[in-house]
Each structure stands twice: as C-alpha cells, then as structure tokens.
C-alpha cells in the first residue's frame, strides 16, 4: 500500500514528497536541503529512507539530495544534469523499484532541458506522476531561467512534453508538482498543490491553448520577475552543495565591537525582528527582513549571495529557522548575530534610528505613496496616484525616486518595512511605513482603488 507524504516549504512555495510502502522503505522526490522533516516523517511511520530522486536542477532552492546521501540514501538524478558529484543517472524509461511498486522516468523537458517526471505504478497500473515543474496546478513552471535564447525552445518543449507524455496518462492519475503557490518558478494561479491529469486537461488555461504557438504566447505572457539567485543556484546544485554534519549549524553570538567591525568591512546587517520592533528602534543602515516563511525569498532578492551576513534577532525568535532559511537558498556566509540585540548596541552608546509606522489615518499631508508589491498585485488594485516599484527592484532604483517624504505600503507591512530600510540605506530620512494595503485604504477613505496600469 503506497503512502505519499507531502513536505511543503510554504515560504518558497515548493513541495517535495516522501513515498513509502508497507514494506518499510521510502524515497524522497525533490528533497529540500533540511533533512529533518524527512527523517521525522519516516521515523514516525517506521520507514527507512533508501533513495532521493531529483526531477531537475533546481534554480530556486538548494537540493537536499547530498544531505540525504550522507545519511545512506541512494541519490538519483536525470542523466542530463551532468553533476560534479557522485550520483546515479536516470534516463527516459529507466525504472526505480520501491517494494512492489515502480517509478518510471519520463523525459519531460520544458521547465529545464534535462527534466524528468516520475510515473508511480502499482502492478503496472499508473497511480501518480511527480511532474516537478513541467506541469503544475493550473499552469506550467517558467522556461526562462536559462537565458533568452533558451526561453522559447523550452516553452515549446514543455508543450510537447505535456501533450505527448503527460496527457497520455489516464485522467485519474494524481499529479504531484514541485513548484506551486508562492513559488516564483510557478505560473499557475490559486493555492492548490496537487491535482490530477484530468483536472489539468480540462481546467488548466494553458492546456486550452489553440496549438503550440498560442501555448507559448500565453506561457511567456504570464511570467513575472524573479530573484537573481535563481540564476546561480542551478549551477550550485550541479556542482554539489556543501553537506553539513549537523543541521542547522549554530549561529555565533558576536559582541557589539565585532559586529561594528564586520559591518565596516562590508557585511550586511540584517534585522529580522517584527516590524513594530524595528520601527521603534534599529541600527542605522541595517536591512530589515522579518523572520517569517518568506524570509529567504526576500533575502535572496535583496542581498548578494556572496556578501557576509550579520543579524539582529529578538530573544524569542528561532535561530535554527533563520539559519535554515539562509542555507536553503545557498547563503552560507553567516557571520553571526549581535549578542544582546539592540539593547546591547544602545548600552554601548551607539545611536538608534526609528521609522514611523502608521495606519491610514496617520498618513501625513504631502507624502508621496510608494507601493512595493508585485506587478500582479498592483494591477489587481492600487491606491490612485501612488508610485509603484516592486520591492525586488527597489535597491537599484532607490536613488532615482523623487525627493520629498514617502509613505511606503504593501499589504500587511512586512515588505514595506523592508522597503523603508532599503530607502534609509540609500540615504533617505523622510520615510514612513503604512501598516495596511489598498483595501484598508479604500475602507478608511471611502474611495475606490484603481485597477490596471
């Protein structure tokens, strides 16, 4: 009897899967770098982890295959990955046994050229297919991460992979994609993470395209921006990420003097406390990114991967979560945290900066409103006369914004406080943060938001 256990990374918007049988063995498809969830799930069910399978070279997270291999599991990857570490290659049609079940590799290029899907069968009857990024819920994962010259050929490959390989399966076959809601690799709407071949056949808007050209046009038109680290992690995963003996490694505690010295030498000081704490008092020049599920995405979008990182952390925040989120996107240069936090900094006679955090009725006359949400959010509804710059693009454009006071907003305050810290790092001292989004603004003012561009 097969059991499929999803392990979801809500922050990055991805899913991996632990597949087990009644015979006590289990494999993982597209494992994340942190091995603990798989070990815990397997132990709870009395399973022994025997293998990890990759569908493709990932661009949005560091693979955990080598971490699991260090624990004794086989590591199997598509032969086209050409990895620089020890692993077993799988090609189209190859099978992996799992008790009385089998997993057969299907070549499904599109999201990436080497992409494999894995068809799970029980007594030769297809049960489920693990589609990575070639077919996802309501869409297809983006084909534009290898450069402009590869984008259209990969989009066309995706069309053929789906039509000729995946839609040839029965409608009741369950579909388990890797990329899903919240992933910047994803083009699909909604928050469902699994589906069926039949559901996608009849409801996926891309699969309703009038032929290959229409499919390609629709797919490419639906792609938004993505963080720069997506352009790096594919090669990191090909070369083989570092394996940690213990997970996660501890975060060093540093005195004020060392933090000050490290920042002077080029380290980025990242304040991960909640927005209210940062607003009330923070170290000037620090970058604020609140520690939450989406922390890693915004760290990767705003800070270079090779920059050393020091942190300001509240006493009750989870250091293991912080370190794990950094490592899951390949940010390894973790200097440590400020021992004693902001209180220690202030006690050492160092100054603190403050950022006003206001509700709609606290908006000051003459403040220009800056919306830092994604393009898709802006189009769906925004405050009239607001300016718009996606948060990920703000560091490059911060010094080009018009002079004068700015009120920054997103939806709930976390991204806008990050944006305020970016503007302060660029030399602005006239920034306040609006705690709420356009809907709250409309209810408070009795005015309508504007849609479109």
Check residue 345 and give its pLDDT.
97
What pLDDT score was predicted for residue 190? 64
Q: Could you give the angle at the alpha carbon of 220 between the alpha carbons of 216 and 221, nearest 5°?
A: 115
Domains and CATH numbers, the chain: 3-239 (3.60.15.10), 253-347 (3.40.250.10), 357-445 (3.40.250.10)
Which residues lie closer than 8 Å to 216 by C-beta, 6 or more apart? 152, 155, 156, 159
Cβ atoms 29, 55 nearer than 8 A = yes
pLDDT tens, N- to C-terminus, the chain (453 residues): 789 999 999 999 999 999 998 789 999 999 999 999 999 999 999 999 999 999 999 999 999 999 999 999 999 999 988 899 999 999 999 998 877 788 999 999 999 999 999 999 987 789 999 999 999 999 999 999 999 999 999 999 999 999 999 999 999 999 999 998 778 876 555 678 999 999 999 999 999 999 999 999 999 998 889 999 999 999 999 999 999 999 999 999 999 999 999 999 999 999 999 999 999 999 999 999 999 999 999 999 999 999 999 999 999 999 999 999 999 999 999 999 999 999 999 999 999 999 999 998 878 777 899 999 999 899 999 999 899 999 999 999 998 898 889 999 999 999 999 999 999 999 999 999 999 899 988 998 889 999 988
Cis omega before residue 248 (within 30°)? yes
pLDDT of residue 187: 54
Evaluated on CA atoms 368, 372, 376, 381, the torsion sign reads: negative
pTM of the model: 0.93
**DSSP letters for 369-391:** EEE-S-HHHHHH-B-TT-EE--G
Cα 97 to Cα 23, 51, 100: the distances in Å are 12, 10, 7
- Are the CB atoms for 290 and 248 separated by under 8 Å? no
Residue among 162, 166, 204 nearest 187 (CA): 204
């Amino acid at each position: 009897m097969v059991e499929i256990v999803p392990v979801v990374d809500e922050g990055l918007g991805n899913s991996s899967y632990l597949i087990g049988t009644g015979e006590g063995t289990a494999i993982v498809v597209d494992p994340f770098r942190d091995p603990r969830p798989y070990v815990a799930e397997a132990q709870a069910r009395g399973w022994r982890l025997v293998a990890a399978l990759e569908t493709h070279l990932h661009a949005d997270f560091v693979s955990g295959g080598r971490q699991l291999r260090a624990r004794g599991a086989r590591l199997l990857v598509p032969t086209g990955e050409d990895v620089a570490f020890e692993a077993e290659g799988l090609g189209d049609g190859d099978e992996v046994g799992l008790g009385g079940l089998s997993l057969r590799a299907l070549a499904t290029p599109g999201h990436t050229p080497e992409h494999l899907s894995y068809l799970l069968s029980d007594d030769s009857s297809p049960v489920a297919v693990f589609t990575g990024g070639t077919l996802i819920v309501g869409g297809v994962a983006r084909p534009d991460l290898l450069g402009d010259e590869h984008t259209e050929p990969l989009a066309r490959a995706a069309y053929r992979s789906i039509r000729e390989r995946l839609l040839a399966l029965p409608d009741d076959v369950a579909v388990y994609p890797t990329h899903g809601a919240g992933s910047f690799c994803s083009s699909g709407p909604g928050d469902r993470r699994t589906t069926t071949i039949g559901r996608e056949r009849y409801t996926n808007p891309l699969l309703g395209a009038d032929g290959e050209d229409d499919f390609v046009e629709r797919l490419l038109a639906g792609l938004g921006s993505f963080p720069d680290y997506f352009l790096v992690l594919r090669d990191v995963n090909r070369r083989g990420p570092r394996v940690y003996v213990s997970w996660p490694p501890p975060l060093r505690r540093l005195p004020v003097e060392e933090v000050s010295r490290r920042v002077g030498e080029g380290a980025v000081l990242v304040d991960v406390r909640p927005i209210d704490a940062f607003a009330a008092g923070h170290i000037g020049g620090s970058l604020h990114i609140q520690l939450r599920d989406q922390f890693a995405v915004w760290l990767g979008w705003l800070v270079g991967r090779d920059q050393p990182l020091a942190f300001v952390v509240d006493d009750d925040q989870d250091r293991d979560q912080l370190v794990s989120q950094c490592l899951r996107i390949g940010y390894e240069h973790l200097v440590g945290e400020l021992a004693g936090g902001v209180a220690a900094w202030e006690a050492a006679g160092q100054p603190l900066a403050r950022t006003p955090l206001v509700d709609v009725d606290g908006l000051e006359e003459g403040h220009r409103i800056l919306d830092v949400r994604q393009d898709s959010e802006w189009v769906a509804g925004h405050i009239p006369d607001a300016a718009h710059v996606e948060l990920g693009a703000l560091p490059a454009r911060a010094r080009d914004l018009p002079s004068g006071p700015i009120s920054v907003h997103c939806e709930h305050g976390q991204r806008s406080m990050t944006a305020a810290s970016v503007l302060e790092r660029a030399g602005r001292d006239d920034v306040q943060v609006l705690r709420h989004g356009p809907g709250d603004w409309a209810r408070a003012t009795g005015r309508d938001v504007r849609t479109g561009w």
